[in-house]
Structure formats: structure tokens, C-alpha cells
Chain A
Amino acid sequence: MAGITLQGVTKAYGSQSVLNDINLDIADGEFLTLVGPSGCGKSTTLRIIAGLETQSTGDVFIDGSIVNETRPSKRDLAMVFQSYALYPHLSVHQNLITPLKLRDLTALERIPLFGHLMPERGKKMSVISSEVQKVAEILKIEPLLDRKPGQLSGGQRQRVALGRAMVRNPAAFLMDEPLSNLDASLRVHMRAELSELHRELKATFVYVTHDQAEALTMSDRIAVMMDGDLLQLGPPDEVYENPTDIRVAEFIGSPKMNILPASCDDKGSIDCLGQKIKVKLKDKTKQSLSIGIRPEHLVLQSGAKSSFSGELTYKENLGSDVFLHLDIGLETGKVVIRTDPQDANSAKIGDKISFGASPNKYLVFDANGKRIDARGKGNS
């Protein structure tokens, strides 16, 4: 069990910079998720922690000691790959004992036939077998031990890959999009299982995904990465409620947060699409802004007190919720409102629909996409 720290880690391939100054402190036993769109550098970060790639500058610490020069196998980490990377020519049982054999047996003891003559080998192998048995019991893969990976389903391979990581009892688990090759229902199921496994093992988990739902559901903390930068680090609800960057706001949450163009005059009052918004800025300078509002915070309104209105172009019915897509004349896309099925019943495609939100739900971003501290007063 160990914590992992990254200090000022950068990575560049030639002149192409892929990681800019990543600082990350992962506590012992924490489930931390690195999330971001593909190409954001999250997998590179994980590989640097694993030692499969070396950083251009900066330091990696595991359990307080610096490991920049340490081989991957000596870092006491285990990795689960997206493709599972099981050895296809070995049975499940042999796949599981491989890391233990490589760690515990000497080179002489690993030689076929001759190795069996070595005095310590039998004792070591029985220890290894009992370790494998234990892990197979936890993951419920005992009936599969004699099969080859090619004879297993995706979910079963996933378990075997987890098992191969677990047998060594490593200081931390690194997982590189382990669920993305599974079908949708199995993925949801495995999310719960992974969280449970994390609670049982009490080990550090570093989990890479591009799926914000996985990040929100499983992690203790989320690190949102984009274009090689670590944009925000915090618990899932904080990242969701309080994004510090417009890119984080747009990436986390499904359906996406609505972004509306706005501007601020020198008295600090905000005008959004011709509507005054009851939000006060501390910084009273004239500037252009973006207003972010989550679909579930928009409410349908009728009559004169409504703030915005648009034409209903599409109704997405999910049973429990309905997403209303409204065209309010923005070039950047439609506004999405999440609402109850009863409220959406009467709305028909082509209807003019009015909506608004309580001012304290508005998130204000400046022209560079940084969050501005703003205070909304009461309900509209």
C-alpha cells in the first residue's frame, strides 16, 4: 500500500509536448480517476507512473521514495490494460502465476525441467499456487483456470486481467480504460464490482478513462485532464457542481452543460441573449462572458416572467427523464433541458417553449474559459 506523487512531470516527443507540468498527490488507498478526452495525456501519465515511459522532466514518488530510475517491475505496481494483454498461449492459471514466478523464483528455478531439481522450487511453487487459488476465489474464476484466454468472454478476460494484477498484492493498481472493451450492461456491472474490490483491498487505484460516468461513479477524486494539462482535481460532486474551467464544465456531465454567450457592462450586470441575469460580479469591468447551466437546472416556465424561449426540435425520452432540445438561435448548438416526463407531456415538436433557472445555478466563465466567482440572488 502506498501513495503516489507526481511533481512537475512533463513529457514531450520531440517538439510535441503532451504533458505540461502535472502535479498530483494520490493518497494511500485512494481511488483516483484520470479522465479526459482521447489524446489528453491521461494514459501517458499512467504509463509514466508505471515506468513504461519516462517523463521528460519532473519526479515520480511512490511511497515517499523517488522512482524515476526504477524499473517497472521494481515499482511494485500492477497494471490492467484496455486489451487485457493476457498471454494467449498460456492457460488462465499460468497467466496468473507468471508474475509470481518471475518475482519469486530465481532464473535457475525457472528453467524448464532442470528447474525442478532446485531444492527450494517446490516450496515456492506451493506458496504461489495457494496465492493464485485465493485470488481465483475472490474473483470467482476457479472454473476457468484451465482455459486459454481465447476461450473466455470479454468479462471473464477482464476478471483474469484483474487477477493477474492482484496476485502480486501490489502497492497500487493502475488501470488503463479496463472497461471500454465490455458491452454497456457489463460495464455498469463491473463499475460496481471494481468499487467493491477497491473497498475490500484498500489499495491505491489509479484509473484512466474517457467516460465521465465511470469517473463520477467510482472515484474518491477525479483529475480532469485536457490537452496535456491537469485542469481540476477534486471529489466527483465538487468537480460536477463547481467546475473551475469551461472545458471541465462541458466534459463532465451528460447531457452536456449548456453554454450561453453573455456580456458584462462596467456596472457588473450581465446580459445574456438580451436577458438580464440576476448575478452580480465582483469585478466590474466590461467583458464578454460565457454562462454555463446544467440541463437539470433549467425549468420550464410559462408566461411573462420567463427568461428565455426557444423552439422544441427534439424530444429524447429516457423513461425516467425527458431531454428537450430547444433551438434558441445559437450557432453553437441546441439548449438541452432535463425534465420530468409529466412536465414534458404537453410539449410538441415545433412548440415555442419558455424556460429559466434560479440565478444561483448559473456558472460564469470569462473569455478564456476560467470560472469567475459570481453570486446569484434568490430565485428568478
Chain B
Amino acid sequence: MQNSKVHYWFIAPALLLMFILLILPVIVAATLSMTDYSLGNSSFNWVGTDNYEKLFSRRSYAKMFSASLTYVLIVVPISVALGLGSALLISSLRIGNELYKAIFFLPVMATLLAMAIVWEFALNPIMGVVNDILRSGCDKRLIYGFFTGAWYGADPLQSWYGTACADKFPIWLGDKRYALGTIAFIGIWQGFGFNMVLYLAGLTSVPRELYQAAHMDGADSAWERFKLVTWPMLGPTHVFVITISSIRSFQVFDTVEALTEGGPSKSTYVMVYAMFEKGVRQNLLGIGSAITIVFLAFVLVLTLIQVYFVNRRVHY
């Protein structure tokens, strides 16, 4: 049996497919990132690490990294917290939890591109429903007083709402101060339902007897029991949810493409959009590939953190 080579034949198809479909594209991208190749050209020149040097020295790429990281740093914590919060609330319901689950999960199932069009209308500075609602509060003393802080004696014009009422409400997607935040808001709206479902699954695996033991041990408030039982028992779920939503946030593309196209002044120029713009629109495959490789490195690092660092601490 030692000399038989037959086992290679058994694993060969799987290895071959894995190589062609998964590993080869990465190698091709890595190779292309060292060239100035454009699609349609018959030849290319080796440029070494030029593409990478551009990535890490030019201002527009600095904006790209900053937009992507800012987006991830806004979306991940908020969508994870909202997912956990809504999962806790829903699991405490006796009736209606199926309905809430369906509603919160709707944006996850919906095509983001179609939803982006709806958001574009809603956020339109002139006829959008968002600014309509905000504007209608300006002449209601109760609402105006509450949001401007006039109630507790602050100067209304010092507050965001006060100045907006006096002047005009923001162009959500056309103003570089607001665009990334607005895209992030849509990302959270779209993504937290997914985290909620993962947390709901995690919550069902927490043994009920642990809560009863916590009751007996004197954890009287819901907060104490959350700290003592729920939070630590959800450890593996936390790691999974955070990793998945980080990767998904790094991958944000369709809202940017549909709503802002990376602008205004590159404030929403996230990595995957940059890849698309350079590699596909401008046919600069070299720099596009370089962005892809850097992107892969980010995702790889996140995955490695999950596997080697956190996984060991949350499985008891």
C-alpha cells in the first residue's frame, strides 16, 4: 500500500478545482499588480512595486483607506450593538417575535441596489421625505425646543438643528461632511438584521439552567444576569458576528456606486469602489489588482485574528 499512488488520483480533482478557482486568480491578481497591463493590450511592462508605492503615497488613496476604515469603524460597532440589542429584545417577547424577526431581516433580503434608489429619493435635499420631516419640525415649538436645546436654555442657533432650520438642511449624499455617514447609516440599516439573526441563534444555545443558577446566586437585575451569563456565553457568536460584519463592511460597494460614485471629493471612495473604478472603468488593471491584493490582506488579517487570537479565548 505504501507504494500505491492511487490516493493522488482521489484528491487530484479537488486540488485542481481549488487551484483553478481559488488560488490561481489571486496569483494572477498579484502578478498583474506588478505590471501596467490594460485589458486589450498585447503586452505589458513590469513596474515592480510602483503600483503599491502609489497606493501608499498618493493623497487620493490615503482618502480611500480612510473612507474604508471610517466606514468599517462606524458600521461594525453600531450594527453589532443593534443586532445584539434587538436579538435580546425579540427573544424576551412572548408573542410577535416572528413578526419582528421578519421585519428586521427584510433589508438583508432586499436587493441593496433597489433599496439604494429608495434611499436616494428619501434623502433628496429638496423633495426627499427625510428633509421634509426634519423641516416640518422647525415650526413646531415642542420639537424645535427639544432638538435645539432651547428648553434647557441653550442658544438654538448654536445647535445643529437650529442652524439647519435657520439656513437649510444638508444635502445628505452631496456634502462631503455627510456623505460617508449617510452611506454608513444605510449600511447599518441593511446589515444589523443579519447580526440579529446570528445573535438569536446564539441566544438559543445558552442553557436556561445558567440563568436560573444566576437567579439563585443573587444576580437580581437583568443587567447582572447579562454580564454573568449572556455576554460570556455569546463569546463565539461575538467573534463570528464581528468578523463577518467587518468583512462585509470592507466589501461595501453597491450603495456607493448607486448613490455617490465615490464622491463628493472622494469622501466615500471605499476600497471595492476604487477597485472597480481603476480596474474596470479606467482599465488600469495594474493598480486595480494592487488594491485587490491590499484588500485581501486586510480580510486575511481579520480572519487570522479570529482564528488564532479570539477563538481560543471564547471556547471554554
Whether B217 pairs with A98 at a CB distance below 8 angstroms is yes
B233 engages A89 (CB within 8 Å): yes
* Contact of A79 with B213 in the complex, beta carbons under 8 Å: yes
Q: Pick the contact of A52: B215, B218, B233 (CB < 8 A).
A: B215
Cβ of B228: which chain A residues have Cβ within 8 Å of it?
87, 98
Give the chain A neighbours of B219 by CB distance below 8 A: 73, 102
Interface SS of B by simple majority: helix
Find out whether the CB atom of B217 lies under 8 angstroms from the CB atom of A164: yes
Q: Give every chain B residue within 8 A of A295 (Cβ-Cβ).
A: none
Contact A72 B215 (CB under 8 A): yes
Q: With a CB–CB cut-off of 8 A, which chain B residues contact A149?
A: 316
Residues of B within 8 A of A51 (CB): 215
Residue B170 at the chain A interface, CB threshold 8 Å: no
Choose one: A77, A85, A99; the contact of B210 (CB below 8 Å).
A85
Query: Does any Cβ of B come within 8 Å of A202's Cβ?
Result: no
In this complex, how many residues of chain B approach chain A with their Cβ under 8 Å: the count is 18
- The yes or no answer to A78 lying at the interface (CB within 8 A) is yes
Q: Are A81 and B235 in contact (CB under 8 A)?
A: no
Q: Smallest CB-CB separation from B315: which chain A residue?
A: A150
Which bracket fits the contact residues of A? 20 to 34
Q: Is the CB of B316 within 8 A of A73?
A: no
Could you tell me the distance between the alpha carbons of A71 and B214 in the complex, rounded to whole angstroms? Answer: 12
By the criterion CB–CB under 8 Å, are A79 and B220 in contact? no
Chain B CB within 8 A of A329 CB: no
The yes or no answer to B209 lying at the interface (CB within 8 A) is yes
Report A-chain residues with C-beta under 8 Å of the C-beta of B224: 102
Does chain B have a CB within 8 A of A148? yes
Closest-CB distance, B140 to chain A (whole angstroms): 40
Least CB distance from B310 to A in Å reads: 14
B232 within 8 Å of A (CB atoms): yes
Is B207 interfacial (CB 8 A cutoff)?
Answer: yes
Q: Is B212 an interface residue (CB 8 A)?
A: yes
Known interface pairs A88-B316, A148-B316. Does A78 touch B209 (Cβ–Cβ under 8 Å)?
no
- Determine if B218 and A83 form an interchain contact, defined as CB atoms under 8 angstroms apart: no
Residue A206 at the B interface, CB < 8 A?
no
CB within 8 Å for A83 and B207 given contacts A52-B212, A149-B316: yes
Q: Does B30 contact A (CB under 8 A)?
A: no
Against A, the Cβ 8 Å flags (1 = close, 0 = not) of B202-234 are: 000001011011011111100010001100110
Question: A103 at interface (Cβ–Cβ under 8 A)?
Answer: yes
Give the residue of B209, B220, B232 whose beta carbon is less than 8 angstroms from that of A73.
B220
A77 vs B217: C-alpha distance when bound (angstroms) = 9
Candidates A78, A86, A87, A150; contact of B216 at CB < 8 Å: A78
Q: B207–A85 contact, CB under 8 A?
A: yes
With a cutoff of 8 Å between Cβ atoms, the chain B residues found around residue A50 in the complex are: 212, 216
- Contact: A71 with B216, CB < 8 Å? no
Scoring B207, B217, B220, B316 by chain A CB atoms within 10 A of each residue's CB, the highest score goes to B217
Cα(A85)–Cα(B209), bound, Å: 6
Identify 6 residue pairs between A and B in the complex whose beta-carbon atoms are under 8 Å apart, listed by A's number: A51-B215, A73-B216, A73-B218, A77-B216, A102-B218, A148-B316
> Can you name 19 extra interface pairs (CB under 8 A) apart from A79-B213, A102-B224?
A47-B212, A51-B215, A52-B216, A77-B216, A78-B216, A79-B212, A81-B209, A83-B209, A87-B228, A88-B233, A89-B232, A89-B316, A98-B217, A98-B228, A99-B216, A102-B217, A102-B218, A149-B316, A164-B217
